[in-house]
């Protein structure tokens, strides 16, 4: 055998030995990894506390990676804070009202659907017309939950938060006036009290707007009742033209004579006259 042949055979043997060693090491490594995996699984099954800790660390790591990639902090429960409802889940009559109001006041149908559903629920519970509540919201704020007048009327129903602060105590305080559902519930209570005190819807609306002692309410009750009539037609399946209303502005404070005796005093207004 020549020297060149011996060298080639030596190289071949060396490569074969290295390959065999690598296979054995790799095989043994996989076996170790497999055993470690089995041991880890058994440990987690025996120790639920370690399993929970591991899941927590994994979720923290995944969230950190998500924040790094998207630049947003994930809040999977944010949907619980949203005042929104799929209008397709509403009864036919309520869905028709929600879609019509959405188009007229240029508000997304999902939040309006939630308000429509809430108005119907409050109406059934407190024996007050839900379409009347929706009509008041339409005239008062055009369904802007953050609306505020110069004299302090706030939210969808434009309740005078300072005067009716006691009604917000069960909802955590006056800032709840800017929660749409809370404002609707408080406004419905105020309106109900006004109607009971006046003895009629028209009179109750005059009380609600703070014009109980004034000769007129600047057409407020007429505006609300006109919108109520349109909503009744929509709820009954009629086609009602859309007319975009102006955004209401409240600039006058209610006039209550200081000489009025306490038992004759007008009820605390929900807001002020248009």
pLDDT: which is higher, 255 or 101: 101
Q: Which H or E run contains 153?
A: strand 153-154
Q: Mean pLDDT in the chain?
A: 80
Of 44-48, 230-234, 247-251, the range with the lowest mean pLDDT is 247-251
Q: How far apart are CA 175 and CA 165, in angstroms?
A: 10
Q: How far apart are CA 33 and CA 39, in angstroms?
A: 10
The partner residues of 106 in beta bridges, in order of sequence, read none
Residue 256 is predicted with a pLDDT of 35
Cα dihedral sign, 192-194-197-201: negative
Residue 82 has pLDDT above 70, yes or no: yes
- Mean pLDDT over residues 83-110, rounded? 96
Residue 248 is predicted with a pLDDT of 52
Of 157, 149, 183, residue with least CA distance to 168: 183
Residue 151 is predicted with a pLDDT of 87
pLDDT: which is higher, 261 or 97: 97
Q: What single string gives the DSSP state of each residue in 17-34?
A: HHHHHHHHHHHHHHHHHH
- Taking the CB of residue 264, how many other CB atoms lie within 10 A of it? 9
Helices (H), 77-142: 92-105, 109-126, 130-141
> Which of 25-41 are b and which e, b meaning 16 or more Cβ less than 10 Å from the residue's Cβ?
eeeeeeeeeeeeeeeee
pLDDT tens per residue across span 42-74: 555 666 666 666 667 777 766 666 666 667 777
pLDDT tens per residue across span 179-217: 999 999 999 999 999 999 999 999 999 999 999 889 999
Q: For 87-264, which CATH class?
A: mainly alpha
Judge whether 158 and 251 are in contact, CB under 8 Å: no
Q: How far apart are CA 159 and CA 203, in angstroms?
A: 17
- Taking the CB of residue 60, how many other CB atoms lie within 10 A of it? 10
Interhelix angle 220-235/201-208, rounded to 10 degrees, is 120
* Total-model pTM: 0.68
Q: How far is CA 134 from CA 24, 64, 118, 187, 229, in A?
A: 78, 44, 10, 11, 11
Residue 231 has pLDDT above 60, yes or no: yes
If DSSP codes are grouped into helix, strand and coil, which group holds residue 215?
coil
Of 157, 153, 131, 145, residue with least CA distance to 227: 131
Q: Where are the domains of the chain?
A: 3-70, 87-264
């Amino acid at each position: 055998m020549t020297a060149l042949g011996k060298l080639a055979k030596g190289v071949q043997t060396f490569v074969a030995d290295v390959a065999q060693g690598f296979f054995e090491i790799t095989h043994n490594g996989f076996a170790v990894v497999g055993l470690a995996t089995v041991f880890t699984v058994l440990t987690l099954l025996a120790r639920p506390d370690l399993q929970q800790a591991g899941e927590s660390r994994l979720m923290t790591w995944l969230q950190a990676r998500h924040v790094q990639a998207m630049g947003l902090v994930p809040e999977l429960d944010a949907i619980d804070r949203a005042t929104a409802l799929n209008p397709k889940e509403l009864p036919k009559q309520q869905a028709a009202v929600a879609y019509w109001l959405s188009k007229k006041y240029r508000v997304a149908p999902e939040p309006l659907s939630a308000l429509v559903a809430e108005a119907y629920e409050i109406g059934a519970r407190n024996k007050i017309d839900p379409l009347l509540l929706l009509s008041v919201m339409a005239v008062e704020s055009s369904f802007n939950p953050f609306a505020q007048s110069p004299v302090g009327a706030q939210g969808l129903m434009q309740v005078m938060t300072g005067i009716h602060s006691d009604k917000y105590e069960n909802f955590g305080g006056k800032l709840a006036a800017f929660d749409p559902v809370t404002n609707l519930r408080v406004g419905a209570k105020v309106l109900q009290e006004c109607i009971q005190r006046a003895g009629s819807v028209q009179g109750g609306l005059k009380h609600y707007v703070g014009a109980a002692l004034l000769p007129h309410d600047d057409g407020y009750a007429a505006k609300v009742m006109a919108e109520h009539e349109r909503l009744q037609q929509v709820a009954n399946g009629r086609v009602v033209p859309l007319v975009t209303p102006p955004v209401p502005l409240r600039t006058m404070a209610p006039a209550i004579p200081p000489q009025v005796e306490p038992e004759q005093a007008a009820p605390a207004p929900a807001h002020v006259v248009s």
